[in-house]
Amino acid sequence: MTRLWRGEWLEMGLVQGKCEAYVCCIALADRSGGRHEGAFAVKLLRVNDQALLCTARFTFVNQGAEGRYTFVVGSMQGARNAKQRIVEVTRDLAGLRPKEAVLIVLQGLAAEGGMQHFLAVSQARHPIRYRRRARQSMLLSNIDAFWLERSAEPEGAYGFRVPHSKIHGADRRSQSKSWFYNIGELFH
């Protein structure tokens, strides 16, 4: 953890797809240009060419009694102009999209927190709304639609409460989910 606090990217784990390998790394969010969107960042890279597939910035928060906690996703950013790359990776991971893979890693990180949901920042509450107009124009995606597609429900403080993805199943996609979950759960 000392290396993390020094600002280094730490490798969390590796997942092998049908043809390619993928690595998840964690660092302080300011190492990925997003300290206003969370305290930490997790990124997913394709190993052979170090292609960035997705970066999520997040913060851990206490929830409820008994020391329970979960995380708040401040941003999810995919690679720019990389639609074909994302399609290739999704096929290689048996239908698991890179953004979903990173969310599942975060679920694993928060597994000890005992919650079955996480929180997500809505369009209206996104930190970019409190920055200069030039920065605000950089927010191009419909954040609310992204979370609603994942069965999110409205939540007062951050915007959305999102149920954890179902991990278990016998198919190849569920197996991919399980591998990404283990990366988060086993990271210390």
Give residue-wise pLDDT tens across range 32-85.
776 677 889 999 999 999 999 999 999 899 987 787 899 999 888 887 778 999
Output the CA–CA distances (angstroms, integers) from residue 53 to 107, 113, 171, in the order listed: 18, 27, 23
Asked whether residue 19 is domain-assigned, the answer is no
Q: Domain count of the chain?
A: 1
* pTM of the shown model: 0.88
pLDDT of residue 129 exceeding 60, the answer is no
Distance set, CA 42 to CA 12, 130, 162, 174 (Å): 9, 24, 18, 21
Helix (H, G, I), strand (E, B) or coil at 150: coil
Residue 51 in domain = no
On whether residue 81 sits in a domain, the answer given is yes
Averaged pLDDT, 23-36: 85
Give CA–CA dist 122/158, Å, rounded: 6
Q: Residue 91: which of 176, 179, 187, 6 has the closest Cα?
A: 176
Pairwise CA distance, residues 118 & 104, whole Å: 11
* pLDDT for res 126: 61
In a domain, 22, yes or no: no
Domain presence at residue 10: no
- φ/ψ (deg, to 5) at 177: -60, -45
Domain, as residue range, for 155: 56-186
Question: Which pLDDT band, with edges at 50, 70 and 90, does 25 fall under?
Answer: very high
Q: How confident is the model at residue 154 (pLDDT cuts 50, 70, 90)?
A: very high
Asked, for residue 2, whether it belongs to a domain, the answer is: no
